[in-house]
Chains A and B, each alone.
Chain A
Amino acid sequence: MATPDPAALFREMLAQWERVANQVGGEMMKSGEFGAVMGTATSATVRMQEAGREAMGRALAAANMPSRSEVAELTARVAAMDDRLARIEALLTKVAGVESKPPARPKPQRTRKPKSAKSTAG
């Protein structure tokens, strides 16, 4: 004799709960009040980050260590030098007349036709 499956019932309940939670939660989060709360929370995170950065900057300066922004600046300069070196390398290769050989990659024929064209032709 067949009986209702409690697990299937639970799964259906879970799906319904998820739908309602998404709908009700979503409506709440669309409200201006929630936007204000979220904005305030973001501002608080930003303020904390600013305060932390300032304190860390002072500590790093006292320890004679570079700050985050100084490291970022150095990274940018290294990246720019990297780009410049790549350009010089490419130019030198060109001037020397030696083409750098790219690794062999498969080069299939570019002649494929759509299935409909093939079936018409066939």
Chain B
Amino acid sequence: MSSAPADTLSPVDQARIAFERALQRNIKGLGYFASPAPVLGATPKDVLISRGTMQLYHYRPLTDEVYRVPLLLVMATTNRGYIFDMVPGQSLVEFLLRAGYDVFMLDWTAPGPHESKLGLADYVLDFLPTAIDRVLEETGEPDFTLVGYCFGGVLSTLWAALHPDGPMANIVCFTTPINFKAMEMFQTWSDRRFFDVDRLVDTFGNCPADMLYTAFDLLRPGARIAGNIRLFDNMWNDEFTKSFRMFERWTSDMLPLAGEYFRETTKKLMWENQLYEGGMEVGGRTVDLRNITAPFLHVTAEHDHIVPPAASAPLIEMVGSTDKEAVVLKGGHVSLVAGGNAVRRLWPKLDDWLQERST
């Protein structure tokens, strides 16, 4: 099929291309609905811990020599960790393994009804330390690098602030919110005058995934319709449809949130903005972000509609590290970490930053 720009072609060639694409669209459209979804998260790994909602993976190294400092990725609690490991060639995990890092991931599964009592303290003072201990035990190293994405970054900074003498060599956050008042839409929807979080949690136990999915979907009201039209338009293009399916599957594969955890984060962060304005406590211990002194990298996305730059930007100023860097890259909340944009921008930046600090 011709790849020349359409506006340089004669009307006859344009008509021919339009016809070919229409034909392909129909043939491949049938295949799209009949074929299985792409296999995601398939990089070989060992499950080191599987404890209820908590999963710790160790990815099999792809090089004979790795950097001394292991790397622990912490996923956001609302989504699946395979955003870091989509398909070969589009997997951050694979990229890091090929670059010589020893990669672990703290991932989550849907919390069961019996896990509705899990609170923020369980995540910050139990799951994270358990995962960290296991990483250190597995590698025999005294320290590690912590990498948190979105709310995984919040959990990571909370843990780091509460363990100033802990074994953390470096910390990297991707699009991590700190000033929750700047998340305007979520603020409106969780307005305490109208949103009864206690009643919701007391009734449902856990915050249902479909409720969260609707909220995320509403952040961009035109995106779903435009996305589906674009899919139809590009149905002839295998690369486009493959990428569309990957991201579509991931965005719709949301996790419910443990009830107490959702109640606590709504009240402490959405309502009282404690992490930014002060007074944040986890398990009765006061959080002071100035306690974080390890080398710190915060990468945010210019067009992030979930965690707008105003919500994430203040983090860098609030941590006590002297070796710290904030980077704003082109892209959105998801395209920052996965897809073609991430391959070109975030991944090389991350590798550059980590290399010197991983020996």
Contact = CB atoms under 8 A, between A and B. Distances in A.
A35 interface: yes
A112 B65 contact: yes
Contact of B66 (A18, A68, A83, A108): A108
B8 A108 contact: no
A49 interface: yes
Nearest to A107: B61
Interface residues of A, number: 57
Interface in A60-75: 68, 71-73, 75
A6 to B, nearest CB: 8
Contacts of B211: 42, 45
Interface of B: 6-11, 14, 18, 46, 51-52, 58, 60-61, 63-68, 100, 102, 112-114, 116, 139, 141, 184-185, 188-189, 191, 193-196, 199-200, 203-205, 211, 218-223, 225-226, 229-230, 233, 305, 355-356, 358-359
Contacts of B358: 112, 114
B203 A46 contact: yes
Given A8-B6, A110-B141, A72 B114 contact: yes
Would you call the interface of chain A mostly helix, strand, loop, or mixed?
A: helix
Top-6 shortest CB links A-B: A39-B194, A21-B222, A25-B221, A76-B114, A5-B6, A114-B355
B46 A72 contact: no
Contact of B102 (A10, A42, A110): A110
A106 B61 contact: yes
Given A79-B52, A110-B139, A2 B66 contact: no
Given A39-B194, A42-B195, A29 B114 contact: no
Contacts of A112: 63, 65-68, 100, 358-359
